């Protein structure tokens, strides 16, 4: 297992099935805050659901697809980043994130996403990385901007939540743009 320092007392590590109890406790702290912004299958409400979510990502990673990483601050899981989709053969991926309120405002997600993007572009040879978020998720859009992504468009009413339809932004950065920023 690896552990990469992000800053101060923050670490990025793989989030694996054996973290299910810790992941479940984290979701208990974060659930209401992140539920409007992430997919409904991700936000579980019991240990079996936490384990199932982590198992889905483990199976996808084993097939060289999606994968998930946790962010630990002072030894506590406070959020994470992921490849929502990862397709090396087509040269594309989508990254995403989530964070509990107590950990916001420290640049942890931006730093962790930079790590994922750098790996995708330099190690795996991906050509295009996307970021999808609800158009009213200002914090998420700000991360995409800090990563140097370009807002390519808005998918109108593509995000269903709470009985309403919300617009979804699609951001992206290409490998040559990433290399130029580094």
**pLDDT tens digit string along 118-170?**
999 999 999 999 999 999 999 999 999 999 999 999 999 999 999 999 999 99
User: Beta strands 128-134 and 92-99: pairing type?
Assistant: parallel
Asked if 139 and 169 count as a contact pair (C-beta separation under 8 A), the reply is no
4-181: CATH architecture: 3-Layer(aba) Sandwich (3.40)
pLDDT at position 8 is 83
Give the residue carrying structure tokens 């991700």: 42
Regions of the chain short of the pLDDT cut 70:
1
Give the separation between CA 182 and CA 173, rounded to whole angstroms. Answer: 13
Strands (E), 88-163: 92-99, 128-134, 150-161
- Burial code (b: 16+ CB inside 10 Å, e: under 16) for 96-120 equals bbbbbeebeebebbbbbbbebbeeb
Give the separation between CA 103 and CA 1, rounded to whole angstroms. Answer: 24
Share of the chain above pLDDT 70, in %: 99
Q: What are phi and psi of 45, to 5 degrees?
A: -125, 15
């Amino acid at each position: 297992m690896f552990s990469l320092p992000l800053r101060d007392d923050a670490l990025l590590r793989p989030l694996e099935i054996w973290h299910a109890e810790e992941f479940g406790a984290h979701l208990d702290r974060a659930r209401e805050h992140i539920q409007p912004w992430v997919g409904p299958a991700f936000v579980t409400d019991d240990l079996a659901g936490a384990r199932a979510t982590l198992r889905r990502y483990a199976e996808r990673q084993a097939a060289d697809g999606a994968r998930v990483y946790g962010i630990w601050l002072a030894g506590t899981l406070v959020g994470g980043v992921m490849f929502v989709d990862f397709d090396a053969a087509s040269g594309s991926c989508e990254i995403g994130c989530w964070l509990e309120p107590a950990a916001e405002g420290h640049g942890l997600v931006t730093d962790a996403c930079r790590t994922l993007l750098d790996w995708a572009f330099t190690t795996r040879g991906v050509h295009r990385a996307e970021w999808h978020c609800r158009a009213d998720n200002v914090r998420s859009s700000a991360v995409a901007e800090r990563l140097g992504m370009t807002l390519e468009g808005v998918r109108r009413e593509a995000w269903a939540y709470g009985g309403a339809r919300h617009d979804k932004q699609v951001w992206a950065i290409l490998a040559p743009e990433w290399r130029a920023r580094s």
